[in-house]
Amino acid sequence: MANLDKNFDNNFREFAQKLKLDNKIIDLLAQYQSCLWILVAVGALLLVVGFLGCCGAACESLVLLSLFSILILILSLIEFAETVDGRKNLKPIEDLLQCCGATIETKQTYIKENLCPGELKDKEDCYTSLTGKIDSMGNGLFLCGILLLLVQFFSIMFSNILCKAFQEHGPINYA
């Protein structure tokens, strides 16, 4: 666990005691300190991206809109790269889902090579387990991903359209 703030635990406990929270909740939340910092970083990144897009459009600034477009493109590429890189995290996924092998076919290979110790030999393969969990969530996960990609695509498209319009017509004085 990343310990980004040496006094985080103490500060968090003091804050939680002021709110009169249960100690179990405090211990549970303290385990996720690095996740809290990641959420802060993601929020800051979204603030910067939103600022660039909003101010770039309002001020008719080619530089801000270009930076906005580039950042959205970089974020989209990172999302695609992480889907490929996510396959490297197979072991933690197997531990989390309590499954053995990627598919039914590879399950036997995993068992022969002792990659599924103990009770995992009797569990289902990860594909079946994961598809069961995704099916139980419905199509919401899929729709959320598609919606995110569509929003990113349209944000890049509209910022480029604005850049083109600003280049052709120059800044407009509204006063």
Mean pLDDT of all residues in 33-58: 84
Helix segments in the chain, DSSP class H? 8-18, 23-30, 33-58, 62-85, 90-97, 104-112, 126-137, 140-169
The structure's pTM equals 0.52
Q: What is the overall mean pLDDT for the chain? A: 77
**Predicted confidence (pLDDT) per residue in 52-73, tens digit:** 888 888 888 889 989 999 999 9
